[in-house]
């Protein structure tokens, strides 16, 4: 063991084939506390080794950074107080500082507060694809992040039962499962909720951000409670405040009769109004393919690795025949043909690495999670997808 930033850290242990899953029930604070308590060692190891957090803390100590932090936290306590409580529960359960967890949620909103330079070393590398099949629909996704995130994730399967105080503030009962980076809120990766949603997220990087506005991780956390697509659109629009940074979400919504609709929504800050800018695309006959660049919204983006990687991965993906089934999707997710940037990033020297891949198959109602390339390995975990909150089909 070695010590880093006052915490004992694991040596380089390579790519572990392990998917920790925790089933939880309780209020927002209780669920957060149990996540922190059960995954304290993983959370502490990640917080001590994640170099970007050192940069966030440096900015946090400046007058501008402190102002952005306090303004963002105040806005989230007004808009989503129960999610702030949930985060406090994680901090208390893991015995780590709350401000470090909140800085993780702010991400580039704090990281660029004093120097929004070009190029910007934005994270990203996730590739998402979805297709309608003769039987159903499939969503496939590579979860890519900075190398420190490898082996520092877990899945929480939660039944949130809001306490009376949180109910008064707008909290609703939630049932969902989401992959989480250590210490992060659920929602900003991939997962499902029991109202008929399966989803994956792609980080996007507008050049102009709005510190103080809603961080993308709070919007994706709120989406775990969405009842249907129109409810999800309302959450994404975030009227009265609006997102401060950018992302896109890939969704398959199932209705009570088992019909599926595939959407991608690109989300960006509105620089002239207090809401998010959205571009919604419904995929009927063609496959959904998305990486980490705006493909439809006209947004000035950063220059740097996230854009170069996205362009290279799109080229590699489109070199394959259009996917028609799960096997095709697994082959595309496993593509390592790129010299500098790969769809499945596993090179030792890659700053961004694929920490896991997920395949949601709605005919089987399963979520398969792979640690190695999915076309040559077995899933390490196969979780059931439950849509228990959908009423039965009447036809």
- Give the pLDDT confidence of 258-278 residue by residue, as tens digits: 789 999 999 999 999 999 999
Residue 241 to residue 371: CA distance in whole angstroms: 38
pTM of the model: 0.93
Instruction: Give Cα 301 distance to the centre of its chain.
Output: 20
CATH number (3.40.50.10860, 3.40.1030.10, 1.10.150.20, 3.60.60.10) of 127-166+175-384 reads 3.60.60.10
Residue-wise pLDDT tens digits, 183-209:
999 999 999 999 999 999 999 999 999
Grade residue 120 by pLDDT with cuts at 50, 70 and 90. Answer: low
* Burial bucket for residue 153 (CB in 10 Å: 0-12, 13-18, 19+): buried
Residue 80 to residue 178: CA distance in whole angstroms: 19
Coil, strand or helix: which one is 64? helix
Omega before residue 119 within 30° of 0, cis: yes
Q: For position 123, what pLDDT does the model report? A: 57
- Is the pLDDT score of 4 beyond 80? no
Q: What is the dihedral of CA 256, 262, 266, 270, to 10 degrees?
A: -40
Q: For position 355, what pLDDT does the model report? A: 82
Residue 27 to residue 32: CA distance in whole angstroms: 8
Give long-range contacts, CB 8 A cutoff, 24+ apart: 348-351: 350/147, 351/146, 351/147, 351/305
Residue-wise pLDDT tens digits, 312-351:
999 999 999 999 999 999 999 999 998 888 999 877 777 7
Average pLDDT over every residue of 113-127: 69
Q: For position 3, what pLDDT does the model report? A: 47
Grade residue 114 by pLDDT with cuts at 50, 70 and 90. Answer: confident
- Bridge pairing between strands 288-290 and 21-26: unpaired
- Is the pLDDT score of 179 beyond 70? yes
Lookup result for tokens 């949180």 = 166
Q: For position 121, what pLDDT does the model report? A: 61
**31 neighbors 86 (Cβ within 8 angstroms):** yes
Residue-wise pLDDT tens digits, 80-108:
999 999 999 999 999 999 999 999 999 99
State both tokens at 179. 């992959």
Higher pLDDT: 70 or 152? It is: 70
- Could you tell me what percent of the chain has a pLDDT over 90? 76
Q: For position 119, what pLDDT does the model report? A: 56
Please, where are the H alpha helices in the chain?
Answer: 28-38, 40-49, 51-60, 63-79, 81-94, 98-106, 108-111, 164-168, 216-223, 229-237, 305-318, 326-333
Residue-wise pLDDT tens digits, 221-237:
999 999 999 999 999 99
- Is the pLDDT score of 2 beyond 50? no
Identify the bridge partners of residue 179 per DSSP, sorted by sequence position.
155
Grade residue 367 by pLDDT with cuts at 50, 70 and 90. Answer: very high
Which of 153, 188, 191 shows the shortest CA–CA distance to 359? 191
Residue 11 to residue 310: CA distance in whole angstroms: 31
């Amino acid at each position: 063991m070695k010590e880093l930033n006052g915490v004992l850290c694991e040596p380089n242990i390579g790519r572990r084939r392990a998917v920790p899953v925790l089933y939880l029930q309780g209020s927002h604070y209780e669920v957060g506390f149990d996540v922190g308590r059960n995954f304290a060692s993983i959370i502490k190891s990640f917080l001590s080794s994640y170099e970007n957090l050192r940069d966030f803390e440096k900015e946090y100590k400046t007058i501008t950074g402190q102002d952005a932090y306090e303004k963002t936290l105040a806005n989230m306590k007004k808009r989503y107080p129960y999610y702030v409580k949930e985060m406090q529960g994680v901090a208390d359960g893991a015995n780590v500082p709350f401000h470090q967890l909140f800085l993780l949620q702010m991400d580039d909103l704090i990281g660029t507060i004093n120097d929004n330079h070009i190029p910007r070393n934005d994270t990203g590398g996730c590739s998402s694809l979805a297709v309608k099949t003769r039987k159903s629909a499939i969503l496939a996704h590579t979860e890519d992040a900075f190398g420190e995130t490898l082996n520092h994730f877990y899945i929480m399967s939660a039944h949130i039962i809001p306490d009376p105080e949180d109910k008064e503030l707008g909290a609703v009962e939630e049932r969902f499962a989401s992959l989480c980076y250590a210490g992060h809120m659920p929602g900003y990766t991939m997962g499902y909720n029991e109202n008929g949603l399966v989803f994956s997220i792609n980080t996007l990087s507008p050049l102009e951000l709005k510190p103080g506005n809603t961080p993308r991780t709070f919007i994706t956390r709120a989406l775990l409670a969405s009842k249907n697509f129109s409810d999800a659109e309302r959450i994404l629009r975030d009227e009265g405040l609006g997102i401060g940074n950018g992302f896109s979400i890939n969704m398959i919504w199932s209705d009570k009769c088992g019909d599926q609709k595939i959407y991608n929504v690109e989300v960006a800050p509105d620089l002239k109004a207090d809401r998010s800018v959205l571009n919604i695309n419904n995929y009927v006959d063609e496959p959904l393919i998305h990486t980490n660049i705006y493909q439809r919204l006209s947004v000035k983006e950063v220059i740097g690795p996230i854009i170069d990687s996205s362009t290279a991965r799109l080229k590699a993906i489109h070199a394959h025949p259009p996917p028609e089934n799960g096997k095709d999707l697994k082959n595309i997710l496993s593509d390592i043909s790129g010299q500098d940037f790969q769809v499945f990033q596993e090179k030792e020297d890659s700053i961004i690495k694929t920490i896991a891949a997920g395949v949601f198959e709605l005919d089987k109602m399963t979520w398969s999670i792979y640690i190695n390339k999915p076309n040559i390995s077995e899933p390490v975990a196969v979780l059931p997808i439950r849509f228990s909150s959908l009423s039965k089909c009447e036809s």
